[in-house]
Amino acid sequence: MSSSPSPPLPFPPHLVIPLVRSTLHDRVAGVLVGSALGDAIGLYTEFLSAPHAAAAYPTRKFTLTGPPHATPFKLDAHRAPKEAGHWTDDTDHALLLLLSFLHTARTETVGHDAPPPLPTQTDLAARLRVWVTQGLRVLDTMPLGLGRLVGTVVASAGFDTEPERVAREYWERTGKRVAPNGSLMRTHPLGVMCLFRGEEEAFEVAASISRVTHVDPRCVVACVIGTGLLRALVRGEVQGEGDMDALVERAVEWHRREGKGEGQELEVEELWRHVRSSGGLEDLKLDDQAAMGYVYKTLGSGVVLLRMAMKRIAASRGGLLDRTRLFEILITDLIMRGGDADTNACFAGALLGGYLGYSFLPDHWKHGLKHGEWLLSKTDALCQVLRLKDGEYSGKEDKDTEIHGGRPELRQDEMEGRWMLLQQATVRKMEETAKATSSKVTGLGWSLPWQSKEKKKR
């Protein structure tokens, strides 16, 4: 185990052995698709308690394909607007970062020793502003799952030009108490983008991107740890728990030294209680209604799951171990504990995907992911930019990377019409299900986004 930070790798990568290049490509795809799968599977139990999740899905089996069809949701107003295999706002926000990075990237002009520029605070702010009002335009999807903190900060005056200042003012105004997981859920692409950069540069961009909306030091250090872990996993530098603990220590020390004066000291013991949970997932109490969106719960659940994967692989001692089943078993165990299940599994899925690789993600999940082929095409574009895959790519020529995804900007009346259509379709779906099960529809709990009392704090 090394306690020193890892240096950047040469760029373009000097990968003489094709197998190494292929392995890195597989891990990059594992991060991006694994996180989206965790998000989509986590939606099944999001906001449920563990007992309610067990009652709703007694078999603990989930499929996004068939036969005969994908596992149906426990139908309620939260899940009814979605179809099985849809990811949520967690992956949407991560994709804003990926598209921002790709927009400025061109394989043919990348220098021999410098990777393309990383996303900036102002570009992410502009893309978040569009998402909040119009959804993910490139896929023409709605902005479902908007959290209280993000919604308030993004709507504030000055956010476009000074997002960190606006986020800090909101944090101070609300008493510096709330540390939700809304920045951690989006930062996993940064670990891949920093593959050929130094560790401390990865820490710096993770902190900067967190502060676009979340400036609480617990949110910032969680993003620093998550980005560092993902970078190191893809590079093959985190092989065991000792490597992981050393990286967490370096991230905490970096934050102590470079934390930009958040004005609040980290309680390091509290952080370690979550990422070294002696009782595993049970001790994290993920379905605690009062704290389910706490950033350390999401960070801890991902790190604990990664520890479990490493222990099982080590215990096999080179013997037969179905790693495809390992991803499915661990993510299922996590989401059946309820709480903010989609966000917890989104982050954990990124870590496990980076550790195991895309090849070991379960087929009956990844082949049922809505927009899965599109996501793979963007993953391939990223790998081309990183020189892990043959081919040429120019973000300026890829309209998907534009801030409106190559689509026209929607007017407010057009969005209101879309919300009404979605509301009608949701009510109709619930009524049809109620008739089929001879049950009574009550308490739909549905409202337009500007009328709702959002459950999440992120």
Residue range 224-255, pLDDT digits in tens: 999 999 999 999 999 999 999 999 999 999 99
343 is in an annotated binding site: yes
Are 249 and 256 contacting, i.e. CB atoms less than 8 angstroms apart? Answer: no
pTM: 0.93
User: Per-residue pLDDT averaged across 405-415, rounded?
Assistant: 96
298 is in an annotated binding site: no
Are 140 and 408 contacting, i.e. CB atoms less than 8 angstroms apart? Answer: no
The residue type at 446? W
Q: What whole-number distance in Å separates Cα of residue 369 and Cα of residue 364?
A: 9
pLDDT digits (tens, 9 = 90+) for 337-359: 999 999 999 999 999 999 999 99
3-state DSSP assignment of residue 164: helix
Q: Is residue 209 part of a domain?
A: yes
Q: What whole-number distance in Å separates Cα of residue 245 and Cα of residue 248?
A: 5
CATH number at residue 66: 1.10.4080.10
* pLDDT at position 443: 44
Q: Is residue 5 part of a domain?
A: no
401 is in an annotated binding site: no
Q: What torsion, rounded to 10 degrees, do the Cα atoms 345, 347, 348, 351 define? A: 150
Q: What whole-number distance in Å separates Cα of residue 78 and Cα of residue 44?
A: 10
3-state DSSP assignment of residue 394: strand
pLDDT-derived band at 324 (thresholds 50, 70, 90) equals: confident
Residue 261 pLDDT greater than 60, yes or no: no
* pLDDT at position 458: 66
How far CA 298 is from CA of 181, 279, 383, 445, 454, in Å, comes to 7, 16, 27, 26, 19
216 is in an annotated binding site: no
**What's the domain range around 109?**
18-436
Q: Is residue 155 part of a domain?
A: yes
Q: Is residue 343 part of a domain?
A: yes
Cα of 197 vs its chain's centroid, Å: 21
Q: Is residue 245 part of a domain?
A: yes
Q: Is residue 445 part of a domain?
A: no
* pLDDT at position 449: 47
Q: Is residue 62 part of a domain?
A: yes
User: Per-residue pLDDT averaged across 427-444, rounded?
Assistant: 70
CA nearest 443: which of 186, 80, 34?
80
* pLDDT at position 440: 46
160 is in an annotated binding site: no
* pLDDT at position 457: 53
The runs of H, that is alpha helices, within 336-404 are: 341-356, 363-366, 372-385
* Domain count within the chain: 1
Cβ neighbors of 443 (< 8 A, separation 6 or more) are none
User: Per-residue pLDDT averaged across 402-417, rounded?
Assistant: 97
pLDDT > 90 fraction of the chain, expressed in percent and rounded:
78
pLDDT digits (tens, 9 = 90+) for 66-82: 778 899 999 898 999 99
Q: Is residue 68 part of a domain?
A: yes
90 is in an annotated binding site: yes
